[in-house]
Amino acid sequence: MKVSYNWLQDYLDKKLPSPEKLAEVLTMHSFEVEDVVPQGKGLEMVVVGEVTEKKKHPNADKLSLVKIKIAQNKTLNIVCGAPNIEAGQKVPVALIGAELPNGMKIEKREVRGEVSHGMVCSGAELGLEKQSQGIMVLDKKAKIGTPIAKVLGLTDSILDISILPNRNHDCLGHFWIAKEVAALLNCKIKEPKVKKYKIGKVKKVTVENKAKDLCPRYMARYVAGVNAGSSPEWVKNRLESVGQRSISNLVDATNFVMLELNQPMHAFDADKISGKIIIRRAKKGERFVTLDNQSFELDEDVLLIADDKDALAIAGIKGGKKAEVDASTKNIILEAANFDQSNIRRTSQKLGLKTDSSLRYENGIAHMADLAMERVSEIISESAGGVFGDKTDVYPKKQKPVVLGLLPQDVSKFLGVEVKEKEIADTLKKLGFGVKKMGKILKVVAPMERIDIETEADLIEEVARMYGLYKIPSILPEEIIIPPKRNDNVFFANLVKDILVGAGFSEVYNYSFAQSGEVELANPIDKSKKFLKTNLIEGLRENVKTNSAHFKKIKIFEIGKIYSQSGENISLAGLMHPGEFAETKGVLETLLEKVGIEEYYFNDHPDKIAEIRVGNTSIGYIDHNSFEVSFEELVRLAEEEVEFFPISKYPAVKRDVALYVPIDTRITEVEDVIQNSGGPLLSDVDLFDIYEESEDNRKSLAFHLIFQSHDKTLTDIEAGELLGNVIKALESNANWEVRKG
């Protein structure tokens, strides 16, 4: 929110520190000030000058050569294109070296053969208006050489404050920020001084509340005989300083009070209203046209302010055409109300209609209609005159003050630093809380506007931030040091990633969204990817496409969640490009063995090359150059403990066996026979050669068999016998032929 420094100053009895200093104090104790912008920024080198002479430019019809006096002994020659410049005017002149708010840098330059030593500026060039017709002409009394910011009263600084959501209840109003500042800087808050207004015998507004659940308070007041016109300068200045356009004295007064007290207000043209004010829900299908001609179809959840015939406003959000205040308005009805915050929020979201008023109502505000009504009456009386009627206040259930008990030692216990009871009490009092000691506790009454205060914890926060959170020391917790319980997913993810990285794979992270899937988003950002992905491999294939321009060989993997109707699961996928089956399988085998899964095997798969099984469980699949497995199954099956087998002291004996088998025989079938017949001394079987003889429809397999004993050196004869057993077993299959010699 844009906050005017000068506006805050209006409410304080002591001079504020510099805007930058104030910003720092607020940031460290209340809420973050994101930026401080002096109003005259960019106008430092723009001064008042007097046009002493105007001549036509000899080489250009539309340009003039002017002499501008900026000091008793200094006159500048400037080329000017504005049609409205005349001798005798006082004008803003940007001197050489100026950098204007719009970024324009002023330099000495030649325009069609004439040198220009500066620029005469328009309002737009000074950043004061969006568009300008010609240069800005100043008051004749302006003194030459005076900085333009001073002449125009641009002495304010605007603080861009990111008010925390729990302070939107009060601090979207300047007065309440000033109250906060007063507590921080130890000064007193001043109620604004405005002259008394005229109360007279005029109509009293009749209000009928048909939706008490959505409107806990509605205050209205009739004002007769106002003069619609423009606002006094002080109101205009304040509004414009925080980026609000001045509209008319009547509308400006309501906006001013909203920005001052955070109470949205509305002014209706009383003569356009038929009968009484009725607060009611909209009828289904009821149409409403706003002040700015937007048309809406409403339903019963929308709250309206209406008269006997028509809707006048969408409550708390926007006024309508019917009772719009305009230049001919003579009598008005002023509104200050409270509306249900959830309802305002829902309506505002549903209609896509966000206004300064809806923002405040949806955050919730205190019941301060009386205060706001007084204030707006004073301002309207000053700016538009009028006679003010009695206030109608439909307010059945009064806002009760929040009373809390605070145990002083709880503050220290929460903060971890000792804060004395007196300091706690003083701090709360400064912020406007009522504090009374009752036995061991402090009885604390929250100020009316602080509806964010609900619990003792809120009070502790108040003390903490006033004390200064930055002053709280760093203290490590005094706890018994016990190592944390291991998280298996994390542990094995680390292990798997390290294994794959060691095998030359790089890790990618992809988005969770996909073109198709089982879990659909209601509001996808990319309409072509409205599902949550069901696998990781498609993402990896995309990665190959985008990387292939830069890399010949790509080896990548990802561990991440996939989603289906059976829930979300962690998946692991790997891909190599180019790659072939045996290589991919080797990677996967290394991986499984390294995480301690020994009992895996590969089985036929309907559309991939193979599924990977452990016991009866399928844990994933493998294809030519890729694989995807359930990481959760991997973790479940993983054995981190590696069993150590003693290394034999005796040499190993190697024997080879080769055989022909039909071409569709699985290697594992042959291996199984060898393993089962080799006996306990067969320590390893290793396929070292394979070739296919397609004309005979058979293939040759050759294995190294390693025999080793832990007790003795095996003799040639013993090894030969063991090999013989294997050969016999192989030959018992009639289709297999062991190659001899």
Cα angle: 473, vertex 474, 475; to 5 degrees: 110
Shortest CB 505 distance to another protein, Å: 4
Q: Which of 679, 669, 689 is nearest to 724 (CA)?
A: 679
What region, left, alpha or beta, does residue 483 occupy, with left being phi > 0 and alpha being psi -120 to 50 degrees?
A: beta
DSSP classification of residue 39: T
Shortest CB 412 distance to another protein, Å: 9
Which runs of consecutive H residues, i.e. helices, occur in 548-661?
581-594, 631-637
Shortest CB 344 distance to another protein, Å: 9
| Separation of alpha carbons 477 and 497, rounded Å | 34
- Structure tokens given for 496: 């798997």
Nearer to another protein, 239 or 499 (CB): 499
Longest dimension (CA), the chain: 130
| Separation of alpha carbons 332 and 250, rounded Å | 9
Nearer to another protein, 105 or 420 (CB): 420
Nearer to another protein, 342 or 697 (CB): 342
Shortest CB 342 distance to another protein, Å: 4
Nearer to another protein, 29 or 266 (CB): 29
Q: Which of 131, 56, 46 is nearest to 91 (CA)?
A: 46
Are 77 and 67 in contact by the 8 Å Cβ rule? The answer is yes
Q: Which of 558, 569, 589 is nearest to 493 (CA)?
A: 558
Nearer to another protein, 193 or 550 (CB): 550
Shortest CB 397 distance to another protein, Å: 15
Shortest CB 305 distance to another protein, Å: 20
Are 334 and 204 in contact by the 8 Å Cβ rule? The answer is no
Residue 65: other Cβ atoms inside 10 A = 19
Residue 480: other Cβ atoms inside 10 A = 4
In the block, residue with structure tokens 């004073």: 378
| Separation of alpha carbons 500 and 573, rounded Å | 11
Are 563 and 516 in contact by the 8 Å Cβ rule? The answer is no
Q: In what order do the strands lie in the sheet with 506-507?
A: 506-507, 554-564, 567-577, 626-630, 617-622, 610-614, 600-604
Shortest CB 455 distance to another protein, Å: 6
- Structure tokens given for 216: 């806990």
| Separation of alpha carbons 489 and 501, rounded Å | 18
| Separation of alpha carbons 657 and 686, rounded Å | 10
Nearer to another protein, 141 or 485 (CB): 485
Shortest CB 559 distance to another protein, Å: 9
**Is residue 329 helix, strand or coil?**
coil
Nearer to another protein, 87 or 469 (CB): 469
Cα angle: 465, vertex 403, 438; to 5 degrees: 90
- Structure tokens given for 138: 């100043």
Shortest CB 168 distance to another protein, Å: 7
* Residue-by-residue DSSP string for 276-326: -EEEEEPPTT-EEEBTT--EEE--TTSEEEE-SSSEEEETTTEEBSTT---
Shortest CB 459 distance to another protein, Å: 10
Let me know if 232 is exposed, middle or buried by CB neighbors in 10 A (0-12, 13-18, 19+). middle
Nearer to another protein, 95 or 407 (CB): 407
Three-state SS letters, 342-408? HHHHHHHHHHCCCCHHHHHHHHCCCCCHHHHHHHHHHHHHHHHCCEEEEEEEECCCCCCCCEEEECH
Nearer to another protein, 348 or 377 (CB): 348
Nearer to another protein, 395 or 513 (CB): 513
562 phi, psi to nearest 5 deg: -125, 155
Shortest CB 591 distance to another protein, Å: 13
| Separation of alpha carbons 687 and 657, rounded Å | 10
R_g of the chain, CA atoms, integer Å? 42
DSSP classification of residue 166: G
| Separation of alpha carbons 347 and 30, rounded Å | 31
Residues in the chain: 741
Nearer to another protein, 561 or 594 (CB): 561
Nearer to another protein, 123 or 517 (CB): 517
Residues 6+ apart with CB under 8 A from 57: 63, 64, 65, 79, 111, 112, 114
Shortest CB 504 distance to another protein, Å: 4
Shortest CB 536 distance to another protein, Å: 11
Nearer to another protein, 168 or 708 (CB): 168
Nearer to another protein, 260 or 362 (CB): 362
Nearer to another protein, 455 or 603 (CB): 455
Nearer to another protein, 285 or 483 (CB): 483
Nearer to another protein, 179 or 555 (CB): 555
Shortest CB 33 distance to another protein, Å: 11
Shortest CB 240 distance to another protein, Å: 27
Shortest CB 440 distance to another protein, Å: 14
| Separation of alpha carbons 425 and 427, rounded Å | 5
Shortest CB 558 distance to another protein, Å: 9
What region, left, alpha or beta, does residue 287 occupy, with left being phi > 0 and alpha being psi -120 to 50 degrees?
A: beta
